[in-house]
A = this chain, B = another copy of it.
Amino acid sequence: MTASRPVALSKSIEPAGPSAASGMHRSQLTGCHWNNVKSVLRDVRLRPTRQRTALAWILFGMGDRHITAEMLYEEATKAKVPVSLATVYNTLHQFTDVGLLRQVAVDGSKTYFDTNVSPHHHFFVEGENELLDIADTDMVVGKTPVAPEGYEIARIDVVVRLRRKPR
């Protein structure tokens, strides 16, 4: 369930996250619940603080997501999680450093973070700033180039730019 139609992901998500840092309901988790969030954080050596835990919950609590710092900040705020934008940025980078997130480079000025860290590519809807996963079975890179002397390939990113069909 990676590829889908271009819907505003951010809007389709009701911030049913944790109310503050204690409300431990579990609506539509992807297999991990509240306590797991904390243990995951401990596993990567990040202290499970109130905001970190809450942000992790929002990020990983419901399927794959593509999110910007600003979006995450708004969601956290709506979910009544007190957190500052600076902390959101810090947290996103910390999560990226430990491999929980992946930074996606599209062309906009904004940086997107993808909760799906397994190899896959993206659709990008121009104008709408909408990112969508492409199922890896739908996109196959046939021939890959040889890395220049002294370098090795770290990753291959494919962005399929979409445009709204005329008429």
B-contacting residues of A (Cβ < 8 Å)? Answer: 3-6, 103, 105-107, 109, 111, 123, 125-126, 132, 134-135, 138-165
Give the chain B neighbours of A146 by CB distance below 8 A.
138
Whether B152 contacts A160 by the Cβ 8 Å rule is no
In the assembled complex, the Cα of A75 lies from the Cα of B153 at a distance in Å of 31
Known A107-B103, A158-B156; judge A164-B150 contact (CB<8 A): yes
Whether A156 contacts B160 by the Cβ 8 Å rule is yes
Q: Which of A142, A144, A151 has the most CB of B within 10 A?
A: A151
Q: How far is the CB of A1 from chain B (nearest CB, A)?
A: 14
Whether A142 contacts B144 by the Cβ 8 Å rule is no
Chain B: CB-nearest residue to A146: B138
13 residue pairs of the A-B complex, CB under 8 angstroms, read A105-B105, A105-B159, A123-B145, A125-B151, A126-B154, A138-B146, A150-B164, A151-B164, A152-B163, A152-B165, A153-B162, A156-B160, A159-B159
Whether B163 contacts A151 by the Cβ 8 Å rule is yes
In the assembled complex, the Cα of A153 lies from the Cα of B6 at a distance in Å of 13
Known A140-B141, A141-B141, A143-B138; judge A161-B150 contact (CB<8 A): no
Q: How far is the CB of A119 from chain B (nearest CB, A)?
A: 12
Whether B142 contacts A140 by the Cβ 8 Å rule is yes
Q: How far is the CB of A140 from chain B (nearest CB, A)?
A: 4
